[in-house]
Amino acid sequence: MLFALVSASFYGLNIVYARMAAFAGASGSAIVVYRVLLMLILVGIAAVAMRKSLAMAREERGIMLLLGVATALVGVCYLSSVAFIPVTVAAVVFYTFPIFIVLASPFVEGTKLTPTLLGVAAAATIGVVMVVGPAFGGLDWRGLVLALAASIATATQFFAAARCRKTGVVAKVFWIHVLVLPTAALIGLAAGQLSPPSTLLAAPLAVGMTIGGYVFGFMLQFLALGRITAVAAGIIYCTEPVVAAVSSALLLGETLSPLQMAGGALVLSAIVANVLLEQRRLRGAPLVPIAD
């Protein structure tokens, strides 16, 4: 849960610095491509330095393929949705994924769907809506469908990652990005934004923080998803837009309204409740070995 919370915080900061980089002229598509490429290089170096194998567990090859495709679809759909609807609206639609995780968990993980768990998930989602505070006027249905598809892909990613326990984290991250890189490059080419690496120097600090936030957030995400259920992780990741809202207020001078503050408090309350529920569920449960 701590890994998930820190990962979500890195992702929240990542969004703010990505906005700062965009203001300076560094395109989002180019940042995505180069951060994925950098991740592959770093994972390769880490594998050599730590003598970690990049081999997948044979029985997990199918789930790894699903994980890679789901991760690619999250980026493709979310990035494409903001071409049709405002970012704030896309974020609210995207962050319905904890509800999808909770509703699907009885069928995927055999989790008992209790009224308490439904209430926690609903409270977290309402809190996200309050924090982001969108205006739903004059929306293009294509953007809503794409953001919803990204939400469903994220729920799929969480379930797949939680089931992928035998393949080490280093190998897992490597093969996921092997699938994501060509997809991100194609998006950049289609949008005409796949600029050379020199363009990233327009905002070195913001670009560095964006890429760093993604790298650390992604690694911690997969350390977390091998240790907790998709339901627990999904609710914890509702902290991401809260961190983004607070960071944007501190770094970009954007103010938080009382409604947004109340929403952040609601999200944090839901996370605390979820932690208590998860601890009660796991009390006395046998430990599961995880490949790190």
Write out pLDDT tens, residues 35-70: 788 888 888 887 888 787 777 777 777 888 888 888
**Distances in Å between the alpha carbon of 259 and those of 8, 38, 123?**
22, 39, 14
Question: Please, are residues 98 and 8 in contact by the beta-carbon 8 Å criterion?
Answer: no
Whole-number average pLDDT of the chain: 76
For residue 76 the two structure tokens come to 């493709």
- Residue 6 — pLDDT band, cuts 50, 70, 90? very high
pTM tops 0.85, yes or no: no
**252 — phi, psi (to 5°)?**
-110, -5
Mean pLDDT confidence for 176-181: 82
* Residue 284 confidence (pLDDT) above 80: no
Question: Please, are residues 132 and 245 in contact by the beta-carbon 8 Å criterion?
Answer: yes
Per residue in 212-269, pLDDT (tens digit) is 888 888 888 878 877 777 767 777 887 877 787 788 778 877 676 788 778 878 877 8
∠ Cα 105 111 112 (to 5°): 115
Dist. CA 121–CA 131, nearest whole Å: 15
Pick the more confident residue, 8 or 18. 8
Pick the more confident residue, 111 or 63. 63
Give the pLDDT score at 226: 72
Give the pLDDT score at 152: 92
* Torsion of the alpha carbons at 12, 13, 18 and 21, rounded to the nearest 10: 160
Dist. CA 219–CA 6, nearest whole Å: 11
* Residue 178 confidence (pLDDT) above 70: yes
The fraction of the chain above a pLDDT of 90, given in percent, is 2
* Residue 32 confidence (pLDDT) above 70: yes
Per residue in 69-101, pLDDT (tens digit) is 888 888 778 767 766 776 667 777 787 787 788
* Residue 285 confidence (pLDDT) above 60: no
Give the pLDDT score at 88: 66
* Residue 163 confidence (pLDDT) above 50: yes
* Residue 147 confidence (pLDDT) above 50: yes
The fraction of the chain above a pLDDT of 70, given in percent, is 83
